[in-house]
Copies of this chain bind each other. A is one copy, B any other.
Amino acid sequence: MGLRERKKQKTRLALIDAALDLFLARGYEATTIDQIAASVDVSPRTFFRYFASKEDVALALQADALDIFVAELSARPDAESPFTAMSQAMRAALATVGHNDEADHERFAKTCELRDRHPALVAGQARLMMAHEQRLLAEITRRRGADDLRSHFVLALFAAVARTCFEQCGPGEIRDVAALARRLDETLVVAGQSLRPGWDE
């Protein structure tokens, strides 16, 4: 990886860090792009070459985690039913994020706190999920061997589980990835108790 590429990664992370810190310190809406750019010594125009929008930088790490999830999903064995495969992929994705370097871990925690404080970002998180929806739906129909309403239902149910995990964590309760993984397991237990065996095949 050349110098140019390394510089870009560094600038990107610096922008994310500056943004998260400013958002948490002054509030999301009260922080301007100019302030973020200034605190990294970069022109505002450059900010928009790294992130498409203000929301984008706030949820950058969530987007990364989602990419990992999608990658893990296609690595799951074909024998697994759609919902099982997605559940396992989500576990694997959380494990990956949790085992990264400390800085990344902290960024993720800050993103969670920020999302809890500013409900506007929850909608953005939903939008992220929707961006990958087509790919997930394709994976579900592939594993089920049928393209019908049930595939949509499976997708919707998994989205429901994911949302239940990631948002509305109690007041300051969930701050690290391990706790998030635990909550995922709890939610999957509830889902398992609620669903009939073989419902997603």
- By a beta-carbon cutoff of 8 Å, the part of chain A in contact with chain B is 119, 122-124, 126-127, 130, 149-150, 152-153, 155-157, 159-161, 163-164, 168, 186-187, 190-191, 193-196, 199-200
14 pairs, A vs B, C-beta closer than 8 Å: A123-B124, A123-B130, A150-B190, A150-B194, A153-B164, A155-B164, A156-B160, A157-B157, A157-B194, A193-B196, A193-B199, A194-B195, A194-B200, A196-B196
A52 → B minimal CB distance (Å): 12
Contact A152 B123 (CB under 8 A): no
Assembly of this chain: how many copies? 2
Contact A186 B156 (CB under 8 A): no
Extra inter-chain contacts (20) besides given A157-B194, A159-B160, CB under 8 Å: A123-B124, A123-B126, A123-B127, A126-B126, A126-B130, A152-B164, A156-B159, A156-B160, A156-B161, A156-B164, A157-B157, A157-B160, A193-B196, A193-B199, A194-B195, A194-B196, A194-B200, A195-B195, A195-B199, A196-B196
Contact A153 B123 (CB under 8 A): no
Residues of B within 8 A of A150 (CB): 190, 194
Residues of B within 8 A of A195 (CB): 194-196, 199
Contacts A122-B130, A123-B123, A195-B196; A190 near B160 (Cβ below 8 A): no
